[in-house]
Amino acid sequence: MIEASEVSFPRQTKPYLLRLRLIELLRKLGLLPVADELRRWLTVVKHRKRDKAFAALCPNEVFPPTRSCVGTIGGRGYESYYEDGERSVKVLLELMAGHTELKDARVLEWGCGPARLVRHLARLGKDFGMEVFATDYDDATIQWCKSAIPGVTFARNGLDPPLPFPDGFFDVIFSSSVFTHLSEAMHYAWLKENLRVVKPAGLVIFTTAGDSLKHRLLPAEVPLYEAGELVVRTVPLEGAPRYNAFHSPAFVRQKLLPSVPDADLIQHETDLPLAGIQDVWVVRKHQTPSGVDPEGTNP
């Protein structure tokens, strides 16, 4: 059975708000990339010994450069990268099994990063004869994945659609914390593209930064969020870790999902440990396109 996350939703304390304000000040001054690079470097130094020890415990696994783990979910070194990733994939498999046949399924992870999830999906999916694919827009990440992770077909996509696959190619496409780094226009374009590459009745599973991450909103952003709008914090490069989108469930239900009339929402979870404490959405593509009458019975 899928278990609810044991992570309790953080609250916004004064020191936390101060930290958010400092980040926003750095963003305005254009100093955020420098501060992030410094943070990455400090994390690498801090985790060096523990990462070495953890990697020695898994001699058959290849780990990405620690600095590329810092931008992913958790971002606390190899142990969280590996173990949270494995736990999340077990949750994902159970979620998928509730709605589709896993046997021989063709599955794509869009926005795979340094394979935190897909490396486990390749291994655990073998039991079902699953065929696993993964893409990201970051060329260095995809090059590393290709060289290090067996059992997955990796490809690069652009920041904008399309994906390099034909219509109806996959049974399931999932993304973990990818919409959280995109503009509103890109949400509509990518959800449509996700649906293009799944088969009729196929699944699109994605995560969003919903109510459980509301504490990260600045006071000035809260009214927009509460009004059901997407809150987007930009840095020059869309798709980057600091380009952050926050999704009130009202935005997803009232704006994003209605933009794809050929699909239905079939599950929304707010406490599944799949992408940290993000919301999880499961959408099913219609068996036949809207407006097409398969029986030819409509007048």
Ligand X SMILES: C[S@@+](CC[C@H](N)C(=O)[O-])C[C@H]1O[C@@H](n2cnc3c(N)ncnc32)[C@H](O)[C@@H]1O
Residues that bind ligand X (CB under 6 A): 72-73, 110-113, 116-117, 136-138, 141, 157, 159, 176-178, 181-182, 239, 275
Q: Report the C-alpha gap between 190 and 167 in whole angstroms.
A: 14
* Closer by beta carbon to ligand X, 133 or else 286: 133
| Closest distance of CB 72 from ligand X, Å | 4
β-pair partners for 132: 107
DSSP code for 235: -
| Closest distance of CB 169 from ligand X, Å | 17
| Closest distance of CB 109 from ligand X, Å | 7
Can you give 268-280 as a three-state secondary structure string?
EECCCCCCCCCEE
**Among 89, 47, 38, CA closest to 65:** 47
| Closest distance of CB 180 from ligand X, Å | 7
Q: Assign residue 101 a region: left if phi > 0, alpha if psi is -120 to 50, beta otherwise?
A: beta
Segments in 171-287 forming alpha helices (H): 184-197, 222-226, 249-251
* Closer by beta carbon to ligand X, 84 or else 229: 84
* Closer by beta carbon to ligand X, 189 or else 224: 189
| Closest distance of CB 61 from ligand X, Å | 16
* Closer by beta carbon to ligand X, 65 or else 289: 65
* Closer by beta carbon to ligand X, 159 or else 257: 159
Is there a contact between 194 and 161 (Cβ–Cβ < 8 Å)? no
| Closest distance of CB 249 from ligand X, Å | 20
What tokens appear for 102 in the block?
């896993």
Give the helix, strand, coil percentages of the chain, each rounded to 5. Answer: 45, 20, 40
| Closest distance of CB 144 from ligand X, Å | 11
Cα dist. 43→32, 104, 161, 259 in Å?
16, 40, 33, 40
* Closer by beta carbon to ligand X, 100 or else 176: 176
Hey, which bits of 27-130 come out as E strands? Answer: 106-110
- Residue for token pair 């994605």: 206
* Closer by beta carbon to ligand X, 36 or else 138: 138
DSSP code for 98: T
Residue closest to ligand X, measured at CB: 113
* Closer by beta carbon to ligand X, 58 or else 292: 58
Q: Report the C-alpha gap between 144 and 115 in whole angstroms.
A: 9
| Closest distance of CB 88 from ligand X, Å | 7
